[in-house]
């Protein structure tokens, strides 16, 4: 799994932007540190005790020096603020036509990742953390919700963290640009199993992403794997017949063809199909 030193190898376009801000801060801090240490060592060497008994010149104030000492730090802070503000505004802007959309819902103590319009929803548990699959080099818009209390969605490799607050959805764009698997977790202490509130992010080529979505949708739709529209309605029916019923629910046209499309072999009898159709909403 990647992401050990994400500041050196960020894995999204937005993170590369933020790394630029970090580099500006780091370089500024280095220059200031070098200046301060130079003054300290100069003073230590130049004014060290050589056994003189005479006091050095004493003065109470030096107005030009004091003004310089206020103005220079102020200019540095304003410059850093400007760099941060410009990058954050551009990073927070939402793209009008994202390639993909993901609804992320935090809850005590795991996550649900849903792909609106694609019939795919993945819910994790503390024992079985979910996986968020994203297309590489494509913009994904994330809608972040909380089902209960405050959580925080954090992907270190993307240098990205955003709070999940109940009643206040957050929206942001991510454009992963390095294929790989990255760790993610909740970074807001939210209770007993907070430490287990982890997930992984798998970044794959866009074509693989589309294939994964189709496979996952078919599995969920027709084979009862967290069927999005409810559990099978025929308790006494076989697994194959229940799959057919779920298939009917997934495909509102309620024809025979979706069953074949879903890979359900054979056809139920006319009477059974009619009963299934009545049972499906
Ligand atoms: Cu949490």
**Residue 10's CATH number:** 2.60.40.420
Taking the centre of ligand 1 as the mean of its atom positions, its distance from the CA of residue 145, in whole angstroms, is 12
Task: Give 156 Cα–ligand 1 centroid separation in angstroms.
Answer: 16
CA of 149 to the centre of ligand 1 (A): 8
pLDDT at 276 over 50: no
Tell me, what's the pLDDT at 268? 41
Laid out side by side, the sheet with 110-115 consists of 120-123, 110-115, 100-107, 140-146, 170-174
pLDDT band at 53 (very low <50, low <70, confident <90, very high): confident
Classify residue 7: in a domain, yes or no: yes
User: Which range among 101-105, 115-119, 244-248 shows the weakest confidence by mean pLDDT?
Assistant: 244-248
Q: Domain range holding 131?
A: 1-34+60-204
Compute the distance from residue 183 Cα to the ligand 1 centre, in Å.
15
Do 65 and 186 lie in a common domain? Answer: yes
| Angle 126-129-135 from CA coordinates, rounded to 5° | 155
276 vs 245: CA distance, rounded Å: 6
Assess whether 143 and 185 both reside in one domain. yes
User: Do 193 and 255 have their domain in common?
Assistant: no
The Å distance, Cα 115 to ligand 1 centre, comes to: 21
Residues 142 and 180 in one domain: yes
Token pair of 49 as six digits: 């005790």
Distance CA 61, CA 277 (A): 91
Instruction: Answer yes or no: is pLDDT of 232 > 50.
Output: no
Which has more pLDDT, 201 or 270?
A: 201
**pLDDT for res 264:** 38
CB 191 within 8 A of CB 109: yes
| HEC readout, 224-266 | CCCCCCCCCCCCCCCHHHHHHHHHHHHCCCCCCHHHHHCCCCC
**Pair (188, 245) in one structural domain:** no
Q: Is the pLDDT of residue 98 over 80?
A: yes
Radius of gyration in angstroms for the set of CA atoms belonging to the chain, rounded to a whole number? 29
Ligand 1 mean position, distance from CA 7 (Å) = 24
Same domain, 243 and 125: no
Q: Return all residues near 273 (Cβ < 8 A) that are at least 6 apart.
A: 256, 267
pTM of the model: 0.71
Task: Classify residue 53 as left (phi > 0), alpha (psi -120 to 50) or beta.
Answer: alpha
């Amino acid at each position: 799994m990647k992401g050990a030193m994400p500041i050196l190898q960020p894995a999204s376009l937005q993170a590369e932007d933020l790394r630029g801000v970090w580099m500006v801060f780091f370089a500024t801090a280095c220059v200031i540190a070098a200046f301060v240490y130079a003054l300290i060592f100069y003073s230590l060497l130049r004014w060290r005790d050589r056994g003189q008994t005479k006091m050095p010149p004493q003065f109470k104030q030096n107005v030009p020096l004091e003004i310089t000492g206020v103005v220079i730090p102020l200019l540095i802070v304003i410059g850093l603020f400007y760099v941060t503000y410009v990058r954050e505004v551009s990073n927070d802007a939402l793209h009008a036509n994202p390639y993909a959309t993901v609804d992320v819902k935090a809850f005590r103590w795991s996550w649900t990742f849903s792909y609106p319009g694609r019939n795919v929803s993945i819910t994790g548990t503390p024992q079985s953390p979910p996986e968020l699959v994203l297309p590489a080099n494509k913009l994904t818009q994330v809608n972040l919700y909380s089902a209960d209390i405050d959580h925080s969605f954090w992907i270190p490799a993307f240098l990205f963290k955003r709070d999940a607050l109940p009643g206040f959805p957050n929206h942001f764009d991510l454009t992963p640009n390095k294929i790989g698997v990255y760790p993610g977790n909740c970074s807001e202490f939210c209770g007993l199993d907070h430490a287990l509130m982890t997930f992984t992010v798998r970044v794959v080529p866009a074509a693989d992403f589309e294939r994964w979505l189709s496979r996952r949708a078919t599995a969920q739709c027709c084979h009862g794997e967290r069927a999005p529209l409810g559990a099978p309605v025929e308790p006494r029916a076989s697994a194959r017949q229940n799959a057919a019923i779920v298939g009917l629910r997934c495909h509102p046209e309620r024809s025979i063809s979706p069953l074949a499309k879903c890979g359900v072999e054979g056809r139920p009898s006319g009477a059974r199909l009619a009963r299934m159709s009545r049972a499906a909403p």
